[in-house]
Amino acid sequence: MPIMTEKIHWSSNDLAQMDAKYRIHLINSASGYKSANLIGTRSPKGQDNLAVFSSVIHMGSQPAVFGFLLRPATVPRHTWSNILATGIYTINHIHLPILEAAHQTSLKFPEDVSEFEATGLCAEMKDGFAAPYVAESPVQMGMKYLNHYEIKENGTILVVGQVEHLYADSQVVASDGWLQLDQAQTMTINGLDGYALPALVQRMPYEKI
């Protein structure tokens, strides 16, 4: 068994009173490693948008459904307004070769500026799907908006979508359909700005009681 080390303790009162920036880093990293994705949308006027998200979660396999969280819509959210207007979007894995460009999409660009062009990433249109994929991404999903739910406790929005198209680089697809993401150098996010490169330790057997 590993040796247990001394832990620092914060109460809810401590969290409420601490420096805001310190609290943001602490709480955002306390949930553990999160997925690192770029969500691509296109406005009805044809303006492309791309933004980094660390909140994409698997919600079901049949049908194939994923969700992601949006911050409260107290300021313009181009990703959200485009999804509401068009009903479609893409989810694209961030991998090591595009890390710096992907993180730059977190900057607040004007609505008439495409993050694809600003960061040098390539927008890819295919199979008649009217939202842009990130061409460099090793795993891409074309999503159809299904529903959204306001989280009343803090005003965030859970967006739920269904997979219409799924693409993955052939070298990461195992014979049983499992995607070995370390082969694609898919990144994870620790907190707001810490990126990590996972390595596979072991696949465990599927346990049933």
Domain extents in the chain: 32-196
- Give the predicted TM-score (pTM) of the model: 0.93
Contact, 101 vs 38, CB < 8 A? no
Kindly report, residue by residue over 140-157, the tens digit of the pLDDT.
999 999 999 999 999 999
Cα 30 to Cα 9: distance, rounded to the nearest angstrom:
13
pLDDT, tens digit, 9 for 90 and up, residues 148-201: 999 999 999 999 999 999 999 999 999 999 999 999 999 999 998 999 999 999
Fold of 32-196: Pnp Oxidase; Chain A (2.30.110)
Supply the pLDDT for residue 89. 98
